[in-house]
Chains A and B, each alone.
Chain A
Amino acid sequence: MDYTFHWRPVTKAIPDLLDAALLTLEAATLSMVIGIVLGMGLALLRLHGNRPLYIFATVWIEIARNTPALLQLFFFGFGLGAFGWHLSPFLIVLCGLSFNNAGYLAENFRGGFQAIPDTQIKAARCLGLTATQTYLRIVIPQVFRLVYHPMTNQLVWAVLMSSLGMLVGFRELSGETQFLASNTFRLFEFFLATAIIYYLLVKVVLGTSHLLSRKLFRY
């Protein structure tokens, strides 16, 4: 074996890597929040929207689900750039992940909405709740409970996929790793350290989600 492992550049860079990991979490969480709002909207459009709105939602969902996330990111980068719309690398990742999250979550939400019996809505309206109140107080809380698990998976997915940021110039955990590795040529060492950090990040996300679910869905 000709290769000599050098760990010093990596251990020196651990604070930088942890900072970048925070950026990863930030991008993933934000894209999740935006994705939930948009996904909820898309699901409602598919269920109750008029024809053009239904088509709009369907096209969004099918594109998000049937093309690679990386291609979607490139679209928000150089694709939009062709029209003179320039997003920063952070925004490229945020838009790309939110677009994708919304497409996947919309289908989850749609299943959730359909699982709520009609009779509940009728009962709520009989009790004098407005349509909005019925949705906000009766339907949506139940839908959230139904899709909590898929949503957690989607968040994990967002954390993992934010690594594509390195290909569009965003210095999140992977991008920072690539930057440092290309300056020290220690690709293997750096990416191994990064893999460990991702593993721990995912565990933190899953653990937090588990604790949260216990608080939220006690009854």
Chain B
Amino acid sequence: MSSDASAIQFFSGFQVNDLWFLAEAAGGTLLISAIAISVGTFFGCLFGWALTASRWTSLTLGSVLDVFRSVPLIIQLLLFFNFFPIIGLPIDPFAAGSIVLIFYTSALVAQVARGGIEAVPASMRRASRSLGMTYWQDMRYVVWPVGLRAVLPAWAGVALGVLKDSALVSVLGYLELLRASQILITRTQEPFIILSIVGLFYFALSYPISKTTAKLEQRWQYD
């Protein structure tokens, strides 16, 4: 039974250029999180404003956004990813992951944004309107700066959460850090080392952001 089959390596140990592979995958994590956080924050602010605008939007939009906060992200991803091909529009993992993460982020940010708007005392807003500001001027020059300071830490928490939750897009097959770790574990059979390295990668992405916002929060408190 001897043949050239034994010459092929089906498993191979962890190599230095696998670090490069992981770095590329970290780029994948950053890319999809950056898209989700920026677009999601934009829509989230919009939704947050809509939630405070009237009772009707608060009720309807609120209950729609509530769904995204009440169903596990992994289920949302699988549902969305499998729904589009059914209607004849196959969608790649990156697009599906981005769209679901954007929805998910905007649902979380909407709550934060509403909190920010509500954090601005009504008396302050009445004062700005009495000074002759229009509704939008009041929004831009009073509510935005004051509200932003109130909820920036909460927003940072959401952003960090999305960065970490983007790991779940790996189940769709999008190549990001976690997916890369599974590929490497399959090839090298060294789970502990690889999980540790990937953990460090995530830590390196997440920790600086969490420290910066903590500092910012402290500084603003004494401002």
- Any chain B CB within 8 A of the CB of A97? no
B195 CB contacts on chain A under 8 angstroms: 71, 74-75, 78-79
Residues of chain A touching chain B, judged by Cβ–Cβ distance below 8 Å, are: 1-3, 62-63, 65-71, 74-75, 78-79, 81-83, 156, 160-161, 163-164, 166-167, 174, 187-188, 191-192, 194-195, 198-199, 202-203
What's the minimum C-beta distance from A73 to chain B, rounded to whole angstroms? 10
A187 CB contacts on chain B under 8 angstroms: 78, 82
Task: Verify B72–A161 contact, CB threshold 8 A.
Answer: yes
- Any chain A CB within 8 A of the CB of B71? yes
Task: Verify B168–A188 contact, CB threshold 8 A.
Answer: no
Contact of A167 among B73, B76, B82, B171 (CB under 8 A): B171
B203 CB contacts on chain A under 8 angstroms: 62-63, 66-67
Bound-state CA distance A71–B178 (Å) is: 7
> Which of B3-11, B12-20, B83-91 contacts its partner?
B83-91
Bound-state CA distance A132–B176 (Å) is: 48
Interface size class on chain B is 35 or more
Contact of A160 among B72, B167, B198 (CB under 8 A): B72
The B interface is mostly helix, strand or loop, or mixed, namely helix
Query: What 3 A-B pairs are tightest by C-beta distance, nearest first?
Result: A163-B72, A68-B167, A78-B191
Task: Verify A70–B75 contact, CB threshold 8 A.
Answer: no
Task: Verify B87–A1 contact, CB threshold 8 A.
Answer: yes
Task: Verify A70–B167 contact, CB threshold 8 A.
Answer: yes
- Any chain A CB within 8 A of the CB of B222? no
A81 CB contacts on chain B under 8 angstroms: 191
